[in-house]
Amino acid sequence: MNLSFENKVALVTGAASGMGLAAAQAFAAEGAAVALADVNETAARSAAEQLVAAGHKAIAIRCDVSDEAQVKAMVEQTVSTFGRLDAAFNNAGVQSPIAELADASGEEFDRVNGINLRGVFNCMKYELIQMRKQASGAIVNNSSLGGLVGVPGRAMYHAARRNRTYEKRCSRVRRERHSDQCGMPWDHRYSHGLGDANR
């Protein structure tokens, strides 16, 4: 199997740390130009600079994926810098505080769903617009076992992850008419220090 991404362009959200950073580094190591997007601009910029210093092509973009205008600008900046978008890894996400549903706030519900669910919608929307123009591309949405099973005190998180799973499945049904590929890895996020930096 040829895993080379030579002359390809990859976009990674939540790229300042953790799995997002590891993915960005892996894309770069295989020859891709990489856009590292994260709400933590300082950390994303530092990671991008390290990749550039190692001889790779990379840029950092500050982006809160819950903000549709920022996501649109993120994709546009990626394409204006590198000319296209071949792969996207939608990894940004946050955890919710442990709380019984009766004690949870509407504001926290909106925050978690805004990033974990609406964020994926925002990213896929503009990534697919670009990939449709190219008639090619691949998208991977990072999800969680939290989309399949639940634990006490995490209702908001599990609800967002469950819907994220089906958002991707529904998109895949439509996108099979085109030449891009859709996928979703299952990952147990609890052990990865998921927080606001990966947003």
Active site (catalytic) residues: 157
- Phi then psi dihedrals of residue 92, to 5 deg: -60, 140
Q: Are 66 and 88 in contact (CB under 8 A)?
A: no
Q: Do β-strands 138-141 and 33-38 pair in parallel, antiparallel, or remain unpaired?
A: unpaired
CB atoms within 10 A of CB 103: 9
Element (H, E) at 139: strand 138-141
CB–CB of 38/199 below 8 Å? yes
CA 159 to chain CA centroid, nearest Å: 18
- Whose tokens are 């940004």? That residue is 92
- Burial of 129-145, coded b for 16+ CB within 10 Å and e otherwise, reads ebbeeeeebbbbbbbbe
Query: At which residue do the structure tokens 């799973």 appear?
Result: 165
Q: Are 37 and 74 in contact (CB under 8 A)?
A: yes
